[in-house]
């Protein structure tokens, strides 16, 4: 009897022990988390860590670099007008440039006729020219009294120089027609056709004969681009 009561007490003690153990375990708080919700919010609101110093310096340099500007070369003014005749030199009052249209407009000094030519081979020919008297062109530029010579320069660099007396002479002859008298002219039309600008300046020096047998054809300089008076 006593043995059974003792076993019952032991059983009761075991049951109570288990009950107390279970109760203590239930009251034990859970392990601490990495942070409360409030603390997590604070962490999220914190600003990002500042960029390294090198990155800031590089960014500052990029900002400071000026935007490159495209500089265009200034256009160079060039005189490519082949239809203008330049007159210059110390023998005139002012340098001038006369266009083909301006020469054609000088009606009072306009000259048109057939010119006799004789070359170094003895060939004799006639050519019809339209142009302006050279004396009128020089007068337009203000010919000085001390002017001594006139030089004609072609587009290709060929040069011919005559005296001022020869340039102003207006009684050149035609050995085959003694009644004819010619001034020195700057022609733009030969045998009914204007000179082709693509082949050079459209002006030609034309001079008659000084006397019978005078070889005048070699003096007919073509493509005159400039006249220099000294």
Q: Domain holding 224: CATH number?
A: 3.90.420.10
Inside any domain, residue 17: no
CA 88 – CA 140 distance, rounded (Å): 11
Inside any domain, residue 12: no
CA 165 – CA 194 distance, rounded (Å): 29
Q: Could you tell me which residues come within 8 angstroms of residue 184 by beta carbon, excluding any fewer than 6 positions away? A: 133, 134, 135, 166, 167, 168, 169, 170, 172, 205, 206, 207
Counted domains in the chain: 1
Range of the domain at 156: 93-229
Q: Which of 32-36, 92-96, 132-136, 164-168 has the lowest average pLDDT?
A: 32-36
Instruction: Specify whether the CB–CB gap between 92 and 143 falls below 8 A.
Output: yes
Instruction: Specify whether the CB–CB gap between 166 and 184 falls below 8 A.
Output: yes
Inside any domain, residue 75: no
Instruction: Specify whether the CB–CB gap between 172 and 184 falls below 8 A.
Output: yes
Q: How many residues does the chain have?
A: 230
Q: Which two tokens stand for residue 74?
A: 């200034």
Inside any domain, residue 82: no
Within 10 Å of residue 180's Cβ, how many Cβ atoms? 17
* Residue 83 confidence (pLDDT): 83
Q: What is the mean pLDDT of residues 62-70?
A: 49
Inside any domain, residue 28: no
**Higher-pLDDT residue of 179, 37:** 179
Inside any domain, residue 8: no
Backbone angles phi, psi at 122, to 5 degrees: 90, 10
Inside any domain, residue 163: yes
Inside any domain, residue 204: yes
Answer yes or no: is pLDDT of 34 > 60. Answer: no
Using one digit for the tens of pLDDT, what is the confidence trace for 176-211? 999 999 999 999 999 999 999 999 999 999 999 999
């Amino acid at each position: 009897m006593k043995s059974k009561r003792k076993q019952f007490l032991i059983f009761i003690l075991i049951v109570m022990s288990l009950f107390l153990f279970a109760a203590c375990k239930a009251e034990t708080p859970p392990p601490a988390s990495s942070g409360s919700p409030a603390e997590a919010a604070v962490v999220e609101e914190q600003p990002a860590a500042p960029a390294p110093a090198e990155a800031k310096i590089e960014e500052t340099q990029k900002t400071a670099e000026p935007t490159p500007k495209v500089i265009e070369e200034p256009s160079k003014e060039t005189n490519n007008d082949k239809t203008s005749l330049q007159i210059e030199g110390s023998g005139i009052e002012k340098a001038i440039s006369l266009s083909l249209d301006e020469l054609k407009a000088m009606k009072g000094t306009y000259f048109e006729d057939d010119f006799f030519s004789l070359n170094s081979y003895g060939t004799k020919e006639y050519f019809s020219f339209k142009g302006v008297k050279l004396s009128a062109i020089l007068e337009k530029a203000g010919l000085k009294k001390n002017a001594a010579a006139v030089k004609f320069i072609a587009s290709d660099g060929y040069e011919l120089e005559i005296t001022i007396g020869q340039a102003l002479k207006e009684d050149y002859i035609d050995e085959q027609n003694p009644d004819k008298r010619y001034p020195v002219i700057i022609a733009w039309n030969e045998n009914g056709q204007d000179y082709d600008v693509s082949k050079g300046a459209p002006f030609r020096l034309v001079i008659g004969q000084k006397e019978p047998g005078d070889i005048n054809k070699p003096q007919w300089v073509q493509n005159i681009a400039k006249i220099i008076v000294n």
